[in-house]
Amino acid sequence: MAIPDYLLKMPAATPPPGVQSNFVDPETNGEPARVVSICFTAAAVLMVALRLYARTTLPKGQRLGWDDVTCVMALVGSIANMVSVLLLMDVGFGRHLWDVRALDLTPQVLLLYAGLDVSYTIAAFFTKLSLLLMYHRLFQVISTSRWLIYAGVGLITCTVVPNLTCSVLRVKRCIPAEKMAGDPYCSNWTVNVVMLTSGTFNTVADLLILFIPIQRVLKLQSIAQARVGLLLIFSVGLIACLSSCVRVIVVGVNRNTIDGFWNAARSAPYMITELNLGIICACVVLMRTLFRKATRAVRSRSGFFIFGKKDDSQIDLCERSEPSLKQSVRSHQEESADDVLQRIIVR
């Protein structure tokens, strides 16, 4: 049975006065989201692969752990987020709603649109959890850092649970599109308020996670070059924090508008950048270890090092196993925790 012509020309939203719907070559802002999603997700996949490889080269105490498992789960969520963006691009993501046919907003499309938020929430949670678990490996001997890590786990848990609950309720109450009419819970304003609230808490969690290693490194009484290098490693997350802040601002500015696809595409590049840079940040500490091992191998073949001999001053923080870290603290009881951490990191 042929679809009536008037249904084919019915837009998903009423256009503003003086504007006509354009289903042929409409204006779109979705291309940046497509490019950023593909590039940053590919970079995250590469970094996670290198991270897992680096783990296989470390002593038993520092082999694969829960921080690696959660990092892989975050990557799976990031890939799901990328797939959602790419599939939504084919049905109008990035266009004004009055340039999208109402018939195109099928239950499957709306479910995919809801999955964009769900995949981001899950991936962001596991990314932050991976970082906190890694910091627990490195800084568990420091009581202040340990309590900050516990606070971070509590904060991200209290953020993800209500956000996921709201997302599931939206799927149940607002799909198919007929259910959206007259339900204030399905309004774009409600959705944006939930995103704005969860985004704010996510930003606070990002800043806390960024603060944990930096505040410890700043207290080290080591040479400036070593401290700057470590700060650069841990500060990769600063860009993710900035992306998170920009995303919250974009959502806040557009909270009262009904142009869902257009507004979502505007904030999507910042969401994708925040998500994948967080995963990269969780891997970059181990890249330092991998780089050092590769450098030693090259120099060893060139005759710069004595074959078969490994100087203890070359041991990296990530190469120390948890038992050896604890033994180091016990054997230097007269030293403060910061002194022990400084000696381990700088070597």
Ordered structural domains, the chain, with CATH: 28-287 (1.20.1070), 298-346 (no CATH)
Higher pLDDT pick, 281 / 44? 44
- For residues 48 and 286, the answer to whether their CB atoms sit within 8 Å is no
Judged by average pLDDT, the poorest of 89-93, 142-146, 327-331 is: 327-331
Q: Is the pLDDT of residue 309 over 60?
A: no
Mean pLDDT, to the nearest integer, of 135-146? Answer: 80
Which tops the pLDDT comparison, 246 or 80? 80
101: β partners: 11
What's the CA gap between 36 and 53, in Å, rounded?
26
pLDDT tier for residue 320 given thresholds of 50, 70 and 90: very low
* Alpha carbons 15 and 102: distance in angstroms, whole number: 13
Lookup: tokens for 28: 């779109």
Query: What's the mean per-residue pLDDT of the chain?
Result: 75
Q: How do residues 5-15 score in pLDDT, each as one tens digit?
A: 656 678 777 88
| CB burial of residue 270 (10 Å; 0-12, 13-18, 19+) | buried
- Whether the link from the prior residue into 11 is cis, omega within 30° of 0, is no
> What is the C-alpha to C-alpha distance for residues 74 and 81, in angstroms, rounded to an integer?
10
- Cβ(153)–Cβ(205) below 8 Å: no
Beta-bridge partners for 11: 101
pLDDT in tens, 16-51: 888 888 888 888 888 999 999 999 999 999 999 988
In terms of pLDDT, which residue wins out, 173 or 154? 154
- Strand-pairing partners, residue 95, are 28
CB 286 within 8 A of CB 54: yes
Q: Which residue has the tokens 């596991």?
A: 126
pLDDT of residue 332: 41
**Distance of alpha carbon 122 from alpha carbon 126, whole angstroms:** 6
pLDDT of residue 325: 46
| Buried residues in 213-241 as b, exposed as e (16+ CB within 10 A) | beebbebbeeeeeebeebeebbbbbeebb
* Interatomic CA distance for residues 274 and 272, integer angstroms: 5
Q: What is the pLDDT of residue 43?
A: 94
What is the residue type of 71?
C
